[in-house]
Amino acid sequence: MERSFAKEVELLRKGDGEYFEGEGILAITKALLQSGVSYVGGYQGAPVSHLMDVLTSDSKGLMAELGVHTETCANEAAAAAMLAASVNYPIRGAVTWKSTVGTNVAADALSNVASCGVVGGALIILGEDYGEGSSIIQERTHPFAMKCSMPLMDPRTSHPRMVALIEKGFELSEASNTPVMVEFRIRACHVTGRFATKDNRQGEYSTNRPIPKHDFSLERIALPPATYSQEERKVEQRLPAAVDFIRENALNEVFDGAYDDVGIVCQGGLFNSVIRGLQQMGLANVFGESELPILCLNVTYPLVDDEIAAFCAGKRAVLVVEEGFPDYLEQAINALLRKADLNTGIHGKGLFPKAGEYQPEVMLRGLAGFIEGAVPRGLDLAPVSQAVAELDRTKAAAAELLGGGVPKRPPGFCTGCPERPVFSAIKLVQREEDIGEFHISADIGCHSFAALPPFGLGNTITGYGLGLSSSAGVAPQFEKRMVSIMGDGGFWHNGLATGVSGAAFNKHDSVLVIMANGYSSATGQQHIPSTTAGGAVPGDTVMPIERALRGLGVTWVRKQYTYRVGKMKKLLHEALTTREKGLKVIIAEAECQIAKQRRLRPLLRKALDAGKRVVRTRFGVDEDSCTGDHSCIRLSGCPSLTVKPNPDPLRKDPIAHVNNGCVGCGLCGEVADAAVLCPSFYKADIVQNPSRIDRALDRTRRRVIGAMGGGSDRAEAGA
Partner 1 sequence: MNAAVNGADLPERSFTMVVGALGGEGGGVLANWIVAAAESLDFPVQSTSIPGVAQRTGATTYYIEIYPAPYAVLGGRSPVMALYATPGNMDVVVASELMEAGRALELGWVTDRRTTLIASTHRIYSIQEKSAMGDGRFETGNLVKAADGMANRAILFDMDRLAQANDTAINAVILGVIAGSDATPIPAEAFEKAIEISGVAVSANLRGFRAGLGFVRGDARIPEPPPPLPRGGREIDLDSLLTKSAEDFPAAAQRVVQEGIRRTVDYQDPGYGQRFLEGAARFLAADRSAGGADRNFDLTVEASRYLALWMTYEDIIRVADLKGRPERMARVRREVGAREGEPLVVTEFLKPGFEELASVLPPALGRGLMRWTDRKPSRRKVHLAMRVKTNTVFGYARLRALAALRFWRPRTYRFAEEWAEIAAWIDAVEAAAARSYDLALAIAELPNLRKGYSDTHRRGVANYRRVFAGLARPAAQTAGDPADAAAALDEVRRAALADPEGEALDAALAAASAQIGRAAPDTGSAAAG
Q: Which is nearer to partner 1, 125 or 585 (CB)?
A: 125
Q: Which segment (32-40, 278-286, 311-319, 464-472) binds partner 1 by CB under 8 A?
A: 278-286
Chain residues 648-677 in contact with partner 1, contact rule CB under 8 A: 649-654, 658, 660-661, 669, 672-673, 675-677
Task: Kindly give, in sequence order, each residue whose CB lies less than 8 Å from that of residue 548, ignoring residues fewer than 6 positions away.
Answer: 496, 500
What are the distances in angstroms from CA 226 to CA 145, 180, 220, 223, 356? 21, 22, 7, 6, 41
CB of 9 to partner 1, least distance (A): 16
| Beta-ladder partners of 618 | 684
Answer for which of 41, 42, 47, 445 binds partner 1 (CB under 8 A) is 47
Residue 440's alpha-carbon distances to 204, 431, 443, 483, 496, in angstroms, are 52, 15, 10, 5, 18
What DSSP line would sit under 60-118, residue for residue?
TTHHHHHT-EEEE-SSHHHHHHHTTHHHHS---EEEEEEETHHHHHHHHHHHHHHHH--
555 binds partner 1, rule: CB under 8 A? no
- Indicate which single residue of 209, 377, 395, 480 sits in contact with partner 1 (rule: CB under 8 A): 395
Which parts of 620-649 interact with partner 1 (CB under 8 A)? 620, 622-625, 627-631, 633-634, 637, 639, 641-643, 647, 649
CB of 575 or CB of 592, closer to partner 1: 592
Report the residue number, 284 or 329, with the smaller CB distance to partner 1.
284
Q: Return d(Cα 21, Cα 7) in angstroms, integer.
A: 12
Q: What is the C-alpha separation between 601 and 667, in angstroms, rounded?
A: 20
DSSP character at residue 384? H
- Opening angle at CA 87, ends 85 and 93, nearest 5: 45
CB of 30 to partner 1, least distance (A): 17
Axis-axis angle for helices 667-674, 420-430 (nearest 10): 10
433 contributes a contact to partner 1 by CB under 8 A: yes
550 versus 613: smaller Cβ distance to partner 1: 613
CB neighbours (10 Å) of residue 695?
11
Assess 354 for contact with partner 1 (CB under 8 A): no
- Nearer Cβ to partner 1 (233/569): 569
C-alpha 208/C-alpha 188 separation (Å) is 33
Q: Should residue 610 be labelled a site residue for partner 1 when binding is judged by CB under 8 A?
A: no
Q: Which amino acid is at 619?
A: F
Task: Restricting to residues 171-190, name those near partner 1 by CB under 8 A.
Answer: 186-188, 190
Q: Give the up-direction half-sphere exposure of residue 600: CA atoms within 13 A in the CB hemisphere.
A: 13
Note if the bond before 529 is cis, omega within 30 degrees.
no
In the complex, least distance from residue 368 CB atom to partner 1, rounded to whole angstroms:
13
Q: Which of 210, 214, 287, 535 is the binder for partner 1 (CB under 8 A)?
A: 287
Give bridge partners of residue 46 from the DSSP assignment: none
Contacts of 284 (CB under 8 A, 6+ apart): 275, 278, 290, 291
For partner 1, which is the closer residue by CB, 583 or 621? 621
Nearest residue (CB) to partner 1, 97 versus 245: 97
Q: Which is nearer to partner 1, 421 or 499 (CB)?
A: 421
Contacts of partner 1 in 201-240 (CB under 8 A): none
Considering only residues 488 through 527, tell me which ones interact with partner 1, judged by CB under 8 A.
Answer: 522
18, 232, 361, 580: residue in contact with partner 1 (rule CB under 8 A): 361
According to CB under 8 A, which one of 399, 536, 543, 603 is a site residue for partner 1?
A: 399
Stretch that binds partner 1, among 198-206, 505-513, 549-557, 679-687 (CB under 8 A): 679-687
Cross-strand bridge partners of residue 184: 127
Residue placing its CB nearer to partner 1 in the complex, 47 or 102:
47
Q: How far is the CB of 556 from partner 1 (least distance, A)?
A: 25
How many residues form the binding site for partner 1 (CB under 8 A)?
Answer: 130
Closest CB 493 distance from partner 1, rounded Å: 18
Q: How far is the C-alpha of 439 from the C-alpha of 251, rounded, in Å?
A: 51
Local structure of 526: helix, strand or coil = strand
Q: CB nearer to partner 1: give 431 or 581.
A: 431
| x-or-dash string of contact with partner 1, 439-458, rule CB under 8 A | -------x--x--xxx----
Cβ atoms of residues 75 and 43 within 8 Å: yes
C-alpha dist (Å) from residue 344 to 315, 363, 371, 438, 501 = 6, 22, 15, 58, 57
Contacts with partner 1 in 534-553 (CB under 8 A)? none
Please, which residue, 93 or 268, has the CB nearer to partner 1? Answer: 268
Based on CB atoms, which residue is closest to partner 1, 331 or 631? 631
Task: Supply the angle between the helices 305-312 and 239-248 in degrees, to the nearest 10.
Answer: 50
Report the nearest approach of partner 1 to the CB of residue 227 (Å): 39
The angle, 0 to 180 degrees and rounded to 10, between the axes of the packed helices 360-374 and 271-280 is 70
Tell whether residue 705 is a contact of partner 1 (CB under 8 A).
yes
Closest CB to partner 1 among 45 and 203? Answer: 45
Rounded to a whole number of angstroms, the minimum distance from the CB of residue 461 to partner 1 is 13
Mark residue 33 as left, alpha or beta (left: phi above 0; alpha: psi -120 to 50; beta: remaining): alpha
Q: How far is the CB of 503 from partner 1 (least distance, A)?
A: 29
Instruction: Compose the 134-173 pattern: x for residues touching partner 1 by CB under 8 A, - for all others.
Output: xx---------------------xx---------------
Least spacing, CB of residue 664 vs partner 1, in Å: 10
Measured in residues, the chain has a length of 719
Q: How far is the CB of 1 from partner 1 (least distance, A)?
A: 16
Provide, rounded to whole angstroms, the least separation between the CB of residue 623 and partner 1: 7
Nearer to partner 1, 222 or 687 (CB): 687
Residue placing its CB nearer to partner 1 in the complex, 49 or 173: 49
Helices H / strands E in the chain, number of each: 26, 24
* Cα Rg of the chain (Å, integer): 30
Closest approach of partner 1 to the CB of residue 609, in Å: 14
